[in-house]
Amino acid sequence: MDKHYYITTPIYYPSAKPHMGHAYSSIITDVFARFKKIDGFKVYFLTGTDEHGLKIQRASEENNMNPSDFCDKISKTFKDLCKTLNLSNSDFIRTTEDRHKKSVQHLWTELEKSGDIYLSKYSGWYSVSDEAFYNDNEIETKDNYKVSKVSGSKVEWVEEESFFFRLSKWQDKLLEYYEKNPQFILPESRKNEVVSFVKSGLKDLSVSRKSFSWGIKVPSDKDHVIYVWLDALTNYISALKYPDISNDLYKKFWPADVHIIGKDILRFHAVYWPAFLLAAKIPVPKRIYGHGWILSGEEKMSKSKGNILDPIDIIDNYGLDPLRYYLIKEVSFGNDGTISKDKLEDCINSDLANNYGNFCQRVTAFAEKNCNSKIPSKINFTEVDNKILNKFSENLTNLRNYINNQKLNSYVDFIVGSLFDANKYFNDEEPWAKKNDIERLNTIIYTSLELIRKISIMLYPIIPDSSLKSLKIFDINEKDITFDSIKDNNFLKANNKISKTDILFKKILK
RNA sequence: GGCGGGGUAGCUCAGUUGGUUAGAGCGCGGGACUCAUAAGCCCGAGGUCAGUGGUUCGAUCCCACUUCCCGCUACCA
């Protein structure tokens, strides 16, 4: 039976152009998706855009466009980003699509039927200029006016009719679910935050708005549109054709294996989403991973600080794979990380150019001169050769576990360690000094070529383009890659041609 | 304020269920080699493991207190 794997990025809110945070979430997700693909899984990788809400409605008005055309335009920039980042996504969902609307409205109706939605009033201190509600403890009285303590702007008491979701009802069930599924929320530190939040008591959630119209209408009351989370989160199942739960996509891929998200939206994914699903009697996803943020130097990137590193700029200047590699290798996954041109350049030079790229180069160049550009025959592995080659089969399970548990850094550490070993092996065995011992020379070359093959396969999920370039040496194409084959020490067939490879990563002169 | 996490080499981080000389990568200094993108390999310098006190034969790791940093504390996403 086929093995299935469903992984998602957040759907992005396109009120601004794509930034490093979007790129990071997407690249991370792509790494997992690609790994699973070469490990024999049928993978469904979903990304998309969340296009409803007041901000979008306003932004479209400001641009003198109708919201629908406006969304088409901005959603496209995110779709383009998928190509720019070389994502292997299976689908791109937009919340303005009919398939999504149908899905959301059906889910709403289910929640209504189960008694989890009721009509009431949403009220609070509202600041028009801040577009935000404030609690009693967030306002103060100044010159006979109520103002926000934070912004100082005037607030007024607003009441609005709204539908509510009985989130409070699900508090215990959620805690029970976290208890029974200790790996549901990762990383562990963030799980604690969610649990303590839920334990502190859940209030019912306002899930509709009458104050604007750009959204999916509440089926039973056309004056209301369905508010953000109930709309947005549903994308994860609407892409699988929910409510048609007998179709293949849904049957095979739901519940999702992991939703990759940023830590800023963890609560919505780890609390609201499972609560909606529990209420609608839909299985809950297996895992929510809330990753950290990419900071620039010490600070969060912001326009005012002028320290924004635009992913597109970086890709234009350094290439895509260096950025992908950097984000995976240099950021401690789960924690916040930093990026700077300086660190990126160091990483490119030491890891990609000197270590990986140069190893491919020195081995293939040597093989060209000494083996007539053919995979050598007459090989006889010694203990040294077997030791370095067997490390991969010995770690096959570990590597799979790393990916299954989102231990990205452990996965990369193994690769980097293998590269050090490979360079050391080549150095220590001195093939250039073995020209009168052809069998030994051939064996060293063969072993080294196998190392290139194995390491390149492991790198494929992270830097797919470069990995494929490298595997071209052996005429291995994308569709032929299997992760499992890194356990094979005799994969390369004698006398097959070794294709010359270009320099994979140019060193950056500093 | 409450709850939680953290302060380990110049930088980024790992680690110790408490036990002889505390680890990696990068950066830095030196060496031998030459197949390679002057890459790679070897050796080395550099840390009172935030501070104070306690438990213990012994603490960087356990406990208490101090100090600094960060996160969460609901309807922008």
Instruction: Give the model's pLDDT for residue A299.
Output: 47
Give A214-264 as a 3 state SS string: CCCEECCEEEEEECHHHHHCCHHHHCCCCCCCCCHHHHHHCCCCEEEEEHH
pLDDT at position A481 over 60: yes
pLDDT at position A1 over 70: no
pLDDT digits (tens, 9 = 90+) for A485-501: 999 999 999 999 999 88
Distance of CA A158 to the CA centre of its chain: 39
Measure A358 CA to B45 C1' (Å): 28
Task: Name the band, by pLDDT with cuts 50, 70 and 90, for residue A86.
Answer: very high
pLDDT digits (tens, 9 = 90+) for A397-420: 999 999 999 989 889 999 999 999
Q: Is A297 left (phi over 0), alpha (psi -120 to 50) or beta?
A: left
Ranking A61-65, A226-230, A298-302 by mean pLDDT, the lowest is: A298-302
Share above pLDDT 90 across residues of chain A, in percent, rounded to a whole number: 73
Rounded to two decimals, the ipTM of the complex is 0.91
C-beta neighbour count of A442 within 10 angstroms? 22
CB A58 under 7 Å to nucleic chain B: no
CB A53 under 7 Å to nucleic chain B: yes
Asked if A5 contacts A43 with a C-beta cutoff of 8 angstroms, the reply is: yes
pLDDT digits (tens, 9 = 90+) for A184-205: 998 888 888 899 899 989 999 9
CB A105 under 7 Å to nucleic chain B: no
Strand B nucleotides with an atom less than 7 Å from a protein beta carbon: 2-5, 12-14, 25-27, 33-37, 39-42, 71-77
Residues 259-288 in A having a C-beta less than 7 A from any atom of strand B are 263-265, 267
* Tokens found for residue A141: 């009285």
Mean pLDDT confidence for A341-353: 92
Ranking A43-52, A327-336, A387-396 by mean pLDDT, the lowest is: A327-336
Instruction: Give the model's pLDDT for residue A146.
Output: 75
Instruction: Give the model's pLDDT for residue A138.
Output: 65
CB A70 under 7 Å to nucleic chain B: no
pLDDT at position A150 over 90: no
Half-sphere exposure of A236 (CA within 13 A, CB side): 29
Residues 400-419 in A having a C-beta less than 7 A from any atom of strand B are 416
pLDDT at position A470 over 90: yes
Identify the residue whose Cα has the smallest distance to the C1' of B3: A196
Task: Name the band, by pLDDT with cuts 50, 70 and 90, for residue A304.
Answer: very low
Instruction: Give the model's pLDDT for residue A189.
Output: 82
Q: Please indicate whether residue A307 or residue A128 has the higher confidence score (pLDDT).
A: A128
Ranking A85-99, A174-188, A474-488 by mean pLDDT, the lowest is: A174-188
By C1' distance from the Cα of A370, the closest nucleotide is B35
Task: Name the band, by pLDDT with cuts 50, 70 and 90, for residue A158.
Answer: confident
Class of domain A341-487: mainly alpha
Instruction: Give the model's pLDDT for residue A298.
Output: 43
* Tokens found for residue A38: 């070469």
CB A200 under 7 Å to nucleic chain B: yes
Residues 23-42 in A having a C-beta less than 7 A from any atom of strand B are none
Measure A419 CA to B59 C1' (Å): 37
Instruction: Give the model's pLDDT for residue A357.
Output: 96
Instruction: Give the model's pLDDT for residue A417.
Output: 93
CA distance A55 to A63: 12
Instruction: Give the model's pLDDT for residue A303.
Output: 46
Asked if A362 contacts A426 with a C-beta cutoff of 8 angstroms, the reply is: yes
Q: Are strands A208-209 and A221-226 parallel, antiparallel or unpaired?
A: antiparallel
Residue A346 CB contacts under 8 Å (≥ 6 apart), including other chains: none
Ranking A45-54, A115-124, A235-244 by mean pLDDT, the lowest is: A115-124
pTM of the predicted model over 0.90: yes
Q: Please indicate whether residue A300 or residue A119 has the higher confidence score (pLDDT).
A: A119
By C1' distance from the Cα of A134, the closest nucleotide is B75
CB A432 under 7 Å to nucleic chain B: yes
CA angle A84, A89, A93 (to 5 degrees): 100
**Structural domain boundaries in chain A:** 341-487
Q: What is the mean pLDDT of chain A?
A: 91
